[in-house]
Structure 1
Amino acid sequence: MADAVRDFAALFDGLPAAFLVMDRELVIVEANHAYCRLLGRDRNQLIGRHVFDAFPPTPESLSEDGGNPLETAFLRARDEGSTESLPLFTYDVRDPTTGELVQRWWSLVCAPLPGADGSTDHVLQRIEDVTDYVRNREDDRSHTRDVEAELFVRLREVESARAAERSAAQRVSALGGAALRLAQAQHQEVLIEVVAGLGLEAVGAASVEIALVPLLDPDGPLDLWQVTNTAERRVTTRGELARDQVSHLATALRTGLRSIEPECIVVPLSAGDGPLGALAFCWPETRAIPDVDVDLVETIAVQYGQAVARLRARETEQAVAADAVSMSEALQRSLLTEPRQPEDVLVVARYRPAAQRAQIGGDWYDSFRTADGRTTLVVGDVSGHDEESAAVMGQVRNLLRGIAYCSAAGPATVLTRLDHALVDLDVGGLATSVLLTLQEGPGEGERTMHWSNAGAPPPLLRSPDGSATLLQPEPELLLGLDPETGRSDHRLVLPLGAGVLLFTDGLVERRDADIEDGLEWLRHTVSGMPHHSLAEICDELLRMVEGYAEDDVVLLGVQVLAPADIDLRSVAVPGATARPRRG
């Protein structure tokens, strides 16, 4: 598209006629070389100035009532969308040699330039210096009749030239609009609509045919669009036709060469890596096709081919990205298995990916029994949100599970051994984690909880009465930085009905707020749900952060059950025998 824009800018600047372009406020936005040369002005001194600041009206250029006919013509072109031709117009310019003002006579035309929505957003002015003609006429008064006859002929020529220039201006406007919309189009149907509308307008043809070679099967049936533009209606049809059934397009498709017939211009569509199809503009009658029409069709074909290639490349990239995300998500799901459900406690797990990121990340949870019978729960978070972080998460999770299963040591020692393993095995990456174990407590039905925190948010204790408290011992250094760092075990006795919620920072961390505020929000929210089950609390928390969480969220809760509650486990945890819900 950049090449097409440069080509269009070079075409505009190289036009032999003098053109000036203004926005709706009549501020100059472009002037071609012929315009600047004719008026002896520098382009950079014109752009950005109001047209009547750059060219103040002279008394001779105003009407008898003091109005400015030129301004009136500009406003009518802008507001009414009409092309305005002015009578011979006088405006003095400075002679580049003497620096003195010299009277000059001009032929002026102004035309509207529509934007993408069809309304006028720019005004185009074309000027022609007719001073020599006027002066010659004044110099020879004795040949009045001849001059008048010549003037009549010249006026007819001027009118014809103006009509041709109006047509050229409209074509330039349509071609510019087509180039802009083709560059912005996001769907193939929009490309067809642009070529059928602004393309036909620029070329002046009656119909257009577009045949595209299918991306996945270049030898298969063609995608064909046939568009007819008439005064009454525009009809678009699409069909699947064999290659040899497309009469107008067969030559371009077969040879890759353009074909010019008395009623049709056919050019191939191509991109850097091969042919895409062919494009044909057709007229209902036999006609002599000028070179300018051929150049316009080839320009549209280049822009259209680039747009099709861009859309196809984007579709391919999106498909590859979707496959990669799907594979990574499948890997992550395979690692987030259903938590084990010991007889005397209830375990609930939830996972939800970040709202603004792909469905992969480094957050995980795990729940299992060690060799000595302790119930173990862990949540963790590996830095990053891509395939690599998901792979590192799998290694960290499995290492921790293996070390914890075979060790009778407390959580702090297990995390220290994991830290050494991550460094010695060169796993890479940084991670936070909370490791928690449960075993029989001192009283009937009670459980003793030991935990250690490596850089993660603190566990949330939910008392039997429904109140919530953050277990606030300062988290210690995260995993992967210094295996020699000291780690601490913490101990708490859980009575019947008490529970603990482990979570990753995506639940409470926000870019525009302090994490302490998020932790207090969590404590207050859970305290306000005294009659909710553990599963209901987890589901409600995820609902509350939906659309706001900037990171993945893992929730892993455990509750000490009374004997009467054990048989109600499947009711308290909907889908307990299935995979954990991802929100």
Structure 2
Amino acid sequence: MIGGTTPATDTGGARSAVPGGDALDYRDLFDALAVPKIVLDPDLVVLDANRSYTELLGMPVDALVGRTLADALARVPGGPPPVPRAMDAIARCLRTGMPEVVEPTRWDLPDPRTGETGARYWMLLVLPVMRAGDAAVRAVVVRVEEIDAADVEGTDGDATPAQMSWHSTVARMRATAAAEREAAVTLQSSVLTPPPDVPGLTLDVRYQPANRITRVGGDWYDVVLRESGRAVLVVGDVAGHDVDAAAAMAHLKGVLRTVAVEDDAGPAAILDRAERAAAALRIEAFAAVTVAVVDPPAPDGSRRVTWARAGSLPPLVRWADLGAELLDDRPGRLFGLLLPKERPEQARVLEPCAALLLFTDGLVERRGELLSDSLEHLRRDVERVVDLRLERLADCVLARSTPIRGTDDVALVALQVDDVPADGPEAVGTMTA
């Protein structure tokens, strides 16, 4: 509760230093706001309401806090309020993380100045509250503004200029949001393209955004096929879940794939050369990146894979016997730090039917859980998938993130060494419980 025992916005005591050495009390600030405001948690329980809001309803804040919004408003003198439209807007804001505007709605509350009850109209603005670096909506602030009844109702059934202005404002805000989403989706679609066909390998990719409205973020995947037949796999993660993060990601992906196509470069060299090129081009972004180079097949059909990590998570391999192993080597420095220390490389040989997974941290990170434990849970989950098809493995692995969808982006590249011709029979199994 803002100004109470537990600040809804995690302000650390609800006080902050201001010029002159004084401290700003957020309870005083919240109450000083002239426009009525109420704060709700994701379960629509009232966390706080400012003085303007409590005076509007004629109820003390203690009668609101701790109750659901529907329960609290049902206790307001003057009959039940028109909740459904507001509830729908709040639910959308919680689901999408986008502000919502509710057009003027009638609720005939008593006028605090005269005590008389007449036609009164209210416009609501619902704003999400999110912690930096976290796309999950932690709370919503509902701003309530009264609109003059004459402006809403008009005369002789005709809309007044003020009424048309309100409708125009709402329509414009919605159109702007739609245009931003369309531009973001176009950007993401142009960058995250399907992998190329590589003879003897099956490839699959997945991308799941944290921001479900713009569907963009800082994670990416890439597969580059060299003239020599070597394939270069990349997954990366630039901090952020917005269009700025997607733009930085697009720049870095372009630099990395330009370097990766050079046949003499191993994974560590690719990272080093791309890091220097990004600095020269003034691409100011830090990223966690994994680069893996897959050699052409040996006579027995196996493939040697060499990889290097820049602050990213270790690859995971599922062997032909369906056992899974995390290739837990040294991660190397974060991409963008430009440190002189050499990046380590590791290599393993994948026999036919073995699969390799490269992924970003959104797949495994869990709040309150050690990263090592999360990675071990992923390894065990992979072992439970006994369907040999790579597509099925990728689907099952990505399904792990469903309970925390919306907290971080996920990018995944999966590779499997072929055992039978592409037009041969598929090996089909099941997924254990």
Q: Same fold (TM over 0.5)?
A: yes
State the partner residue of 2:162. Answer: 276
Q: TM-score, normalised by structure 2?
A: 0.64
Write the distance in 1 (CA, Å) between the matches of 2:283 and 2:186. Answer: 21
Write the distance in 1 (CA, Å) between the matches of 2:282 and 2:184. Answer: 22
Write the distance in 2 (CA, Å) between the matches of 1:374 and 1:525. Answer: 30
TM-superposed CA distance for 1:406, in Å, is 2.3
State the partner residue of 1:513. Answer: 369
Write the distance in 2 (CA, Å) between the matches of 1:570 and 1:401. Answer: 32
* 1:524 equivalenced with 2:410 (yes/no): no
TM-superposed CA distance for 1:373, in Å, is 2.4
* 1:344 equivalenced with 2:257 (yes/no): no
* 1:556 equivalenced with 2:413 (yes/no): yes
Match of 2:238 among 366, 377, 382: 382
Q: Check the 8 A contact 1:407/1:414 in 2, yes or no.
A: no
SS in 1 for 2:282: coil
**Shift in alpha-carbon separation, 1:493–1:118, aligned structure 2, 3 A:** closer
SS in 1 for 2:305: strand
More helix by share: 1
SS in 1 for 2:224: strand
SS in 1 for 2:399: helix
Q: Check the 8 A contact 2:221/2:235 in 1, yes or no.
A: yes
State the partner residue of 2:350. Answer: 494
Matched AA of 2:179: D
Q: Check the 8 A contact 2:181/2:213 in 1, yes or no.
A: no
Write the distance in 1 (CA, Å) between the matches of 2:260 and 2:344. Answer: 16
Write the distance in 2 (CA, Å) between the matches of 1:361 and 1:4. Answer: 34
Write the distance in 1 (CA, Å) between the matches of 2:269 and 2:290. Answer: 13
Write the distance in 2 (CA, Å) between the matches of 1:509 and 1:276. Answer: 50
- The total of aligned residue pairs comes to 328
TM-superposed CA distance for 1:470, in Å, is 0.4
State the partner residue of 1:446. Answer: 302
Write the distance in 2 (CA, Å) between the matches of 1:512 and 1:466. Answer: 30
Deviation string 1:422-464 (CA, Å, 9 cap, x unpaired) is: 1111101111111111113544211111111111110101100
Spell out structure 1 runs of 4+ moving beyond 4 A: 1-5, 21-25, 180-192, 201-205, 311-315, 355-358, 568-572
* 1:193 equivalenced with 2:106 (yes/no): yes
SS in 2 for 1:567: coil
Write the distance in 1 (CA, Å) between the matches of 2:187 and 2:162. Answer: 38
Q: How does 1:376-525 map to 2 (within 5 A)?
A: 376-525=232-381
State the partner residue of 2:397. Answer: 541
State the partner residue of 1:150. Answer: none
**Shift in alpha-carbon separation, 1:317–1:374, aligned structure 2, 3 A:** same
Q: TM-score, normalised by structure 1?
A: 0.49
Matched AA of 1:194: W
Write the distance in 2 (CA, Å) between the matches of 1:500 and 1:423. Answer: 31
TM-superposed CA distance for 1:323, in Å, is 2.1
State the partner residue of 2:146. Answer: none
Root-mean-square deviation (CA, aligned residues, Å) is 4.3
Deviation string 1:171-207 (CA, Å, 9 cap, x unpaired) is: xx89xx99x9999996999845325x768x96677xx
State the partner residue of 1:354. Answer: 210
Matched AA of 2:283: V
Matched AA of 2:378: L
TM-superposed CA distance for 1:532, in Å, is 4.0
Q: Check the 8 A contact 1:441/1:493 in 2, yes or no.
A: no
TM-superposed CA distance for 1:513, in Å, is 1.2
Write the distance in 1 (CA, Å) between the matches of 2:292 and 2:84. Answer: 59
**Shift in alpha-carbon separation, 1:391–1:22, aligned structure 2, 3 A:** closer
Write the distance in 2 (CA, Å) between the matches of 1:423 and 1:474. Answer: 24
Matched AA of 1:117: A
* Aligned-pair identity (%): 29
Matched AA of 1:546: T
Write the distance in 2 (CA, Å) between the matches of 1:321 and 1:450. Answer: 44
Q: What are structure 1's unaligned runs of at least 5 residues?
A: 14-20, 28-114, 121-172, 211-224, 227-237, 254-268, 270-274, 279-307, 573-583
